Amino acid sequence: MILKNKMILVTGADGFIGSHLVEFLILEGARVRAFVNYNSFNSWGWIDNLGKETIKQIEIFSGDIRDPNAVKLAMKDCNIVFHLAALISIPYSYLAPDHYVDTNIRGTLNILQAARDLYIEKTLITSTSEVYGTAIYVPIDEKHPRQGQSPYSATKIGADSLAESFYKSFELPLTIVRPFNTYGPRQSARAVIPTIITQLLAGVTEIKLGAIHPTRDLVYVKDTVRGFIEIAKSDFLVGQDVNIATCSEIKVGDLAQKIIDLINPAAKIIEDKNRLRPANSEVERLFGSNHKILKSTNWTPTYSLNEGLTETINWFSTKENLKLYKHDIYNL
């Protein structure tokens, strides 16, 4: 499928990955409608931080993914939908599971229903590597069992299952996109890499972290969004789920030390018990297979971890970007 001149809706466009995806779709020559979360401040999230020329090319739609009427209206006349809108913080899901059910499951159902009613050509549903839980085997391929180790992951498993049911029941043309641990500019401070970087850039010498023994498969955000785009272009992945992964892993502690060495080698890591997940909820190992995406698309990861971290640190080092983050507060 060629994306040029297609009308494309991106839900969650105001977020971290969504805002990068919007930029890349415009470069592809697509016509982009950005679904942003309605608020009384008229904030468009990270869309506000894109260049003026880029913003001019975006059609903004403010709404709530939980509202089926708004969702259907936003999807009218669209050819393709990238559904990224979700609540994603794991710690907050312990406190507000009802909110996660409403947003992640009901929101996805709204997308699926509207896609069916409006005969959308292709819908991409965003999943997460968290649905796999702690690796039973590695590398984790798309056949790996799903394990709901947090309310967040449980709701994403539910959303994935709904999407699968719409493909099997109604032949709805969709693909489930499953990114592993994406990082880069604009990421929320709830994630480990911005947490480390913002503390270091603020001059903190004792870096507060939760568990440092788990491993993660880290994908730079530009590689992630290129994965989304290549999956959308592919004619071979309808009705399937697809990992976006590097097929590698690094311990959180080793990752933290790598960032410390790049910014302030004198800093050290200390454990903050408030940041620890319940023992059975912690995902101990994530190491994803990218065999399917490599075989079925033109995608390959282009950023090494060092290159991605350097670009991320440079972005956070800009004063106007760093001031958007509160390094001294644990962001759920």
The answer to whether 17 and 182 are in contact (CB under 8 A) is: yes
Domain boundaries, the chain: 7-184+220-244
Averages of pLDDT over each 10 residues, the chain, 332 residues: 98 98 98 98 97 96 98 98 98 98 98 98 98 98 98 98 98 98 96 97 97 98 98 97 98 98 98 95 98 98 98 97 94 86
- Residue 181 pLDDT: 98
Closest CA to 241 of 145, 124, 152: 124
Architecture of the domain delimited by 7-184+220-244: 3-Layer(aba) Sandwich (3.40)
- Residue 100 pLDDT: 98
- Residue 331 pLDDT: 86
The rounded distance, in Å, linking the Cα atoms of 229 and 82 is: 9
Closest CA to 331 of 193, 191, 186: 191
Where does the chain show beta strands of DSSP type E? 7-11, 31-37, 58-63, 80-83, 122-126, 174-179, 181-183, 206-209, 215-216, 218-220, 241-244, 250-251, 268-271
Query: Global pTM?
Result: 0.98
